[in-house]
Amino acid sequence: MTNNLTEFDAKAAESGSAATERFRESGKTATVEVPKERVSLLANEVLGAVYDAIRKHKVTYDEFNALKAWLINVGEDGEWPLFMDVWVEHVVEEVSTEDREGNKGTIEGPYYIPGAPEFDTPATLPMREDEGGTPLLFQGQIRGVDGTPLAGAKVEIWHADDNGFYSQFAPGLPEWNLRGTVAADAEGNFALNTVQPAPYQIPTDGACGKLIAAAGWHAWRPAHLHLKVSAPGHQLLTAQLYFDGDQHLSDDIASAVKPELVLSPTERGNGAGNEVTYDFVLDAVRA
């Protein structure tokens, strides 16, 4: 390991392995016990859909072997978290939150890390002295469905930098760069200073990138802020916020954009960057 790598030296297999490691540590698999009737039902349906596609399109042995080789590469590159979150998570998110009355959320993605530094509002996210990108003041209020301001609310935020890289998933970045948890005030108001992220291109040099190239797709996600908004007695909201005018709002490779999640920041003047207000409405925990 050399010490002078920069984020531009990021390798798909390294960010993939880091995401795989993080997922294993997340505790998300610790309590999973899917009943065998359900495993059998879902496995049969998914395999059935594969058989249908093979018959319909008369899949050849060359194609079958290309798929087999590619699946092996996805695992070798540690890109199963990336694959699942880019191409599958959005539908799970859709069905698991369909009865929410409050804010719409969207997918978490592979780059969340719990335990980021905590701050009281108004906060400035950890960033380098010369952090690139347009400064952004992001503020708002967290309320219940009935409009009550929520005391004890928190906004956890993580996002890519102005070059599209996430700390802890690319070399050379400070550990918690552009990651933090902000405690709102007693009325649920929060304000935080950060920089606007750049559009994000999923790694092109790994197995997922190979699929994208082989299919003639593009690898872009629109620029986005990731958030987890919480308050006592309320359901955790996992969301992303996007930026008006981004060229990839309508063709996000991860299909995770919703119209209510698009911000329209305005200039603060005097070179102070942009500001935007966005309020969150959280559903109560169901009894």
Minimum CB separation from ligand MBD for residue 85, in Å? 5
Interface residue with ligand MBD, options 80, 111, 220, 243 (CB under 6 A):
111
Please report whether residue 273 would count as binding ligand MBD according to CB under 6 A.
no
Please report whether residue 197 would count as binding Fe ion according to CB under 5 A.
no
Q: Which two tokens stand for residue 219?
A: 């690898």
* Partner whose binding site includes residue 178, from Fe ion, ligand MBD, none (CB under 5 to 8 Å by kind): none
Three-state DSSP at 41 gives: helix
Closest CA to 263 of 225, 236, 229: 225
Tell me 7's DSSP state: G
**What count of other Cβ atoms lies within 10 Å of the Cβ of residue 41?**
11
* Residue placing its CB nearer to Fe ion in the complex, 78 or 109: 109
Helix axes 80-87, 61-76, angle to 10 degrees: 110
d(CA 114, CA 231): 16
- Ranges assigned E (strand) in the chain: 118-120, 123-124, 135-144, 154-159, 179-183, 189-195, 200-201, 220-221, 224-230, 237-243, 262-263, 266-267, 274-277, 280-282
Helix axes 12-25, 80-87, angle to 10 degrees: 80
Site string for Fe ion, 143-172 (x = CB under 5 A): ------------------------------
Minimum CB separation from ligand MBD for residue 54, in Å? 28
Site string for ligand MBD, 54-93 (x = CB under 6 A): ----------------------------x--xx-------
Helix axes 207-215, 12-25, angle to 10 degrees: 120
Q: Which of residues 92-121 bind Fe ion (CB under 5 A)?
A: 109
Please report whether residue 110 would count as binding ligand MBD according to CB under 6 A.
yes
Question: How many residues sit close enough to ligand MBD to count as binding (CB under 6 A)?
Answer: 12
* Residue placing its CB nearer to Fe ion in the complex, 84 or 145: 84
Provide the binding-site residues for ligand MBD, judged by CB under 6 A: 82, 85-86, 107, 109-111, 200, 202, 221, 254, 256
Provide the binding-site residues for Fe ion, judged by CB under 5 A: 109
